[in-house]
């Protein structure tokens, strides 16, 4: 990710954020060189730190940015998500998913990923989330789950919490049918 500003005489504001597509390489994720940009005039980075230096008019809820159910903030045309708005549990959930999948590295199947997305360990901060005000999770829930096998041009979509909804297979036009069942071959292997 790269933040592109308004030039050397600009006032320090952002103009765009550039993202680079990645792929799995021998040593983990690596850039493909292909990028895309999104217009932005402000960027807040949050990877578990305390949020400081918020702009005037941005309402907070505790030490997080207050958002509605759509992620809108108190400022017009400003949305927020992730740790800066919902809490620091994203890091916990990410580590839990890594732990569940580490033993299958290189042999990961669609079924393995779907099973990890159904995980309830550490509830209410679990990977699969449900609204439960009594247990401290009053505003965050898994509303859908998607696993993509890019090599096979296939998506597996659960239209609700994946522990309660079956994954439906969606094949992108132009995909070559696989001779091997998608649930039993490593993700990303050629169709």
Residue 98's pLDDT is 87
- 54 within a domain of the structure (yes/no): no
Q: Rounded to an integer, what distance in angstroms lies between the CA atom of residue 191 and that of residue 179?
A: 7
Is there a domain that residue 97 lies in?
A: no
Q: Confirm whether 171 is domain-assigned.
A: yes
| Structure token pair of residue 87 | 């809490």
| Residue 189 domain-assigned (yes or no) | no
Residue 114 vs residues 93, 99, 108, 154, 157: alpha-carbon distances, Å: 15, 14, 11, 14, 10
- Tell me the pLDDT of the chain (191 aa) as tens digits: 777 887 666 566 777 888 888 777 777 677 888 888 888 777 766 555 556 677 788 888 877 788 887 778 898 888 777 667 766 566 678 888 888 998 888 888 999 999 999 999 887 778 898 876 665 555 678 888 999 888 788 899 999 899 999 999 998 887 455 544 444 445 555 54
Asked if residue 133 lies in contact with residue 152, where contact means CB atoms within 8 angstroms, the answer is no
Asked whether residue 168 is domain-assigned, the answer is yes
Range of 38's domain? 13-43
Question: What CA–CA distances, in Å, run from 110 to 48, 150, 155, 166, 180?
Answer: 29, 11, 10, 13, 12
Is residue 48 in some structural domain?
A: no
The answer to whether residue 52 is domain-embedded is no
Measured CA to CA, the distance from residue 147 to residue 138 in angstroms comes to 26
Kindly report whether the global pTM for this prediction surpasses the value 0.75. no
d(CA 133, CA 112): 30
User: Cα torsion at 28, 32, 38, 40 (round to 10°)?
Assistant: 60
In a domain, 4, yes or no: no
Domain count, the chain: 2
């Amino acid at each position: 990710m790269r933040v592109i500003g308004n030039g050397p005489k600009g006032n320090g504001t952002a103009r765009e954020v550039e993202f680079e597509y990645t792929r799995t390489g021998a040593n983990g994720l690596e850039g493909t060189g292909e990028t895309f940009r999104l217009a932005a005039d402000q960027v807040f980075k949050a990877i578990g730190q305390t949020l400081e230096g918020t702009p005037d008019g941005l309402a907070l809820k505790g030490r997080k940015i207050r958002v509605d159910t759509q992620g809108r903030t108190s400022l017009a045309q400003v949305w927020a998500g992730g740790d800066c708005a919902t809490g620091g549990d994203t890091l916990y959930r990410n580590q839990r998913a890594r732990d569940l999948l580490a033993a299958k590295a290189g042999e990961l199947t669609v079924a393995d990923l779907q099973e990890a997305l159904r995980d309830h360990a550490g509830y209410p901060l679990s990977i699969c989330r449900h609204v439960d005000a009594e247990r401290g999770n009053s505003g965050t829930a898994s509303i859908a789950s998607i696993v993509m096998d890019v090599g096979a041009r296939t998506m597996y979509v659960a239209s609700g919490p994946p522990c309660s909804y079956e994954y439906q297979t969606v094949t992108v036009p132009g995909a070559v049918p696989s001779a091997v069942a998608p649930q039993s071959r490593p993700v990303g292997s050629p169709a």
